[in-house]
Amino acid sequence: MIEQLTVTGFAVARDVTLAPGPGLNVITGETGAGKSIIVDALDFLFGGRHGRGVVADGAESARVRASVRTPDDALTVERTVRLSGRTAGRIGDDNAPADRLRELGARVIDIHGQSEQLTLLRPAVQLAVLDAFGGLRDQRDALTAQVRELRALRREIEAIGADSRERERLLDQLRFEVDEIAQAGLVPGEDDALRREQRRLASIERLLAASATALEALDAPAIAEAVAALEEIAEADPDATGLVAEGVTLEQAAADLGRSLRAYREALEDDPERREAIDARLDLIARLRRKYGESVEAILQYESSARERLRAMETAGSSLEELRERAEALAGSAAEAAASLSLARREAASRLIAEVAAELARLEMPGASLAAGFACEDAPDGLAVTLPDYEVVAPDAASSGDGEPGRRAFTESGVDQMELLASFNPGSPPRPLRSVASGGETSRFLLALTTVLGAAAEPRLVVLDEVDEGVGGRAGSVVGEALRRLAERHQVLCVTHLPQVAAYGARHFVVTKASDDDRTWSDIEEVEGEARLRELALMLGGDTPANRTAAADLLRAAGE
């Protein structure tokens, strides 16, 4: 989750600080006040493509900085862009290029902007989220590994069959790759261990100071004085002898803690040479990751595969015919894995459709429904699977499992091309979600889908930019309830124009616009109590007694 966000010199934000809490955080403000600036700043922070055009008038650079807490760590993330267009990012004390910021962002944040920009509307993304919802990532990753190996083997066969000199070049390349990885002496998990040690060494001074403070507190005579006082109490009141025993236990525990803390402090030692060695080792691992895999484990898996291919090519048994036999066997295995994954996806789609239907009913859209269209394309060098060319998994039409045998085009994600389909009225045929993504009905539909998918995802920050676009006041409360349900698992940051939605926020932030003779800028502040009541009244049409009463009713209805 994001604990604090600071935006400086970014568009209309001169110097804005936002401290969202857990649960649902709402952002409101007048039209044109710059409510979406926080959404844009977060997108920029986590690797979004924003150039020097976001630098505020009169500023030399724009900077976004956030305190991010994950289940495993607390990080400070920062990104800056200068008027020259040059950007710089940092994660903790490490430099972080845009791709690394995007990698971190993929783990901690989902940004849902205006509907035409939603990544959820892209079929490739929809297939990935279906796999996540269905718990199919391991199955998909296993197929990915097989496909990569199959493609490498086919390239090898093509190269050997085309030119013996190409075979020698491939042998040299494989030898180099195997030697490079072997000489690195990688150990699974060592990069994580090195980063932990790196952070500890970078915090030596703070650790020493904190240890000294703790020892000073433990060495103070207060505990001994307390025990002596307890003994006096026990002398005067025999019923209080138990307090003396507890005091002695406390005194002994403090002494034990002091000894442990002294041993810990004595072991703390700044080691610049070790820090340099860690930096160099992490740089080496990063270079190998860019070339061979996304993790140390993936690099070692690549080395094992490359070593096998090298051994096969170097031995007499690595004839072209044997390589073709290996490729054929691997293609058969990959085809079985792809077919199994395809059927599992159809089952997951049925579960997703049912759960979205329940959420749509809560959002007062019982006539709307979700469906999933699955397509396969033929390819002469494809995987031999038995699947329909096209079928729709819908509330009243589960997968039949029927299909004609054939060779299907494949990627690392399998043979499926999947797209989510939507119907807003009973009897209306489902259409691609991206072709109907406009208006209030679609906003609620996408919220229902996001809520269901969020229930199966790891806790993260979900940013929603006017997901209630086109939603009227009557439906606003059900949108607010859905956002609150989503916020039970995730930290949610929602830009909204509806008071019926804003009333459901655990925290409420208001964006205002200010100006002087030269420039205009936006500020943001949290409102509570009377200030929040006034903001809701203004959103209802004006700060009048009647609207204040209506605002209070909204808060009571939302459970405030």
45, exposed or middle or buried, with CB in 10 Å at 0-12, 13-18, 19+? Answer: buried
Sign, CA torsion 39/45/48/49: positive
- What percentage of the chain exceeds 90 in pLDDT? 31
- CATH for 2-118+443-449+458-526? 3.40.50.300
The pLDDT of residue 34 is above 80: no
Contact at 8 Å (CB) between 418 and 130? yes
Q: What is the pLDDT of residues 263-305, one digit of tens each?
A: 877 777 777 787 788 888 888 888 888 888 888 888 998 899 8
Bridge partners for 64 per DSSP: 7, 79
* Calpha distance 282→192 (Å, rounded): 10
User: 17: burial class by Cβ within 10 Å (0-12, 13-18, 19+)?
Assistant: middle
Question: Residue 161 pLDDT > 70, yes or no?
Answer: no
- HEC string of 132-146 equals HHCCCHHHHHHHHHH
First to last CA, the chain: 23
Whether 83 has a pLDDT exceeding 80, the answer reads yes
Residue closest to 5 by CA, chosen among 74, 63, 92: 63
Highest mean pLDDT pick, 29-33, 91-95, 105-109, 157-161: 91-95
pLDDT at 539 over 50: yes
Say which residues have a Cβ less than 8 Å from residue 271's Cβ, sequence separation at least 6: 201
Confirm if 4 and 25 have CB atoms less than 8 A apart: no
pLDDT of the residue at 155: 87
**Overall average pLDDT of the 107-132 stretch:** 74
User: Is pLDDT larger for residue 426 or for residue 340?
Assistant: 340
How far, in Å, are 213, 384, 526 from residue 155 at the CA level? 63, 19, 59
The residue with greater pLDDT, 29 or 468, is: 29
Sheet holding 520-526, edge to edge: 94-95, 87-91, 74-82, 61-69, 2-10, 13-18, 520-526, 507-515, 24-29, 491-495, 461-465, 109-112
Does residue 474 have a pLDDT over 80?
A: no
Segment 129-159, tens digit of pLDDT: 899 899 999 999 999 999 999 999 898 888 7
User: And the tokens for 338?
Assistant: 């792809």
Summary mean pLDDT of the chain:
84
Highest mean pLDDT among 65-69, 213-217, 362-366: 65-69
pLDDT at position 23 over 70: yes
CA-CA distance, 274 to 278, in Å (whole number)?
6
Q: Tell me the HSE value of 338 on the side-chain side, using a 13 A CA sphere.
A: 28
Q: Does the pLDDT value for residue 437 go beyond 70? A: no
The predicted-structure confidence for 387-402, as pLDDT tens digits, reads as follows 999 999 988 766 666 7
Helix (H) or strand (E) holding 8: strand 2-10
Burial of 263 (0-12, 13-18, 19+ CB in 10 A): exposed
pLDDT at 463: 86
Domain ranges in the chain are 2-118+443-449+458-526, 123-138+343-435, 163-318
Residue indicated by tokens 């600080």: 17
Is 317 a residue whose pLDDT tops 50?
no
Smallest CA-to-CA distance from 412 within 374, 445, 386, 383 is with 383
The DSSP line for 27-40 is EEE-TTS-TTHHHH
Question: What is residue 116's predicted lDDT score, i.e. its pLDDT?
Answer: 41
C-alpha to C-alpha distance for 388 and 377, rounded to whole angstroms: 10
Residue-wise pLDDT for 213-262, tens only, equals 877 777 777 777 777 777 777 777 777 788 878 878 887 887 888 788 78
Q: Give the residue among 216, 245, 218 at the shortest CA–CA distance from 233.
A: 245
Q: Other C-beta atoms within 10 Å of 357: how many? A: 17
Q: What is the pLDDT of residue 435?
A: 77
| Nearest CA-CA partner of 341 in 269, 411, 405, 440 | 411
Question: What is the average pLDDT across 54-79?
Answer: 88
CA 432 – CA 420 distance, rounded (Å): 6
pLDDT over 70 at 472, yes or no: no
pLDDT at position 351, please?
94
For residue range 399-422, what is the model confidence (pLDDT) as tens digits?
666 777 889 999 999 999 999 999
Q: Is pLDDT at 328 greater than 90 in this prediction? A: yes
Residues 484-499, mean pLDDT to the nearest whole number: 89
pLDDT band at 440 (very low <50, low <70, confident <90, very high): low
The answer to whether residue 438 scores a pLDDT higher than 80 is: no
Q: Please calculate the CA angle 288-76-295 and round it to the nearest 5 degrees.
A: 20
How far is residue 465's CA from residue 432's CA, in Å, rounded to a whole number? 22
pLDDT band at 334 (very low <50, low <70, confident <90, very high): very high
In angstroms, the CA 475 to CA 483 distance is 13
- What's the pLDDT band for 33 if we cut at 50, 70, 90? low
| Residue 82 to residue 94: CA distance in whole angstroms | 19
Q: State pTM to two decimals.
A: 0.61
424 against 268, higher pLDDT: 424
In this structure, the number of other CB atoms found within 10 A of the CB of residue 33 comes to: 19
User: Is 115 a residue whose pLDDT tops 60?
Assistant: no
Phi/psi class of residue 57: alpha, beta or left (left: φ > 0; alpha: ψ in -120 to 50)? beta
7 token code pair: 């935006």
Range of lowest pLDDT (185-194, 225-234, 360-369): 225-234
E strand segments, 339-377: 369-375
pLDDT of residue 316: 42
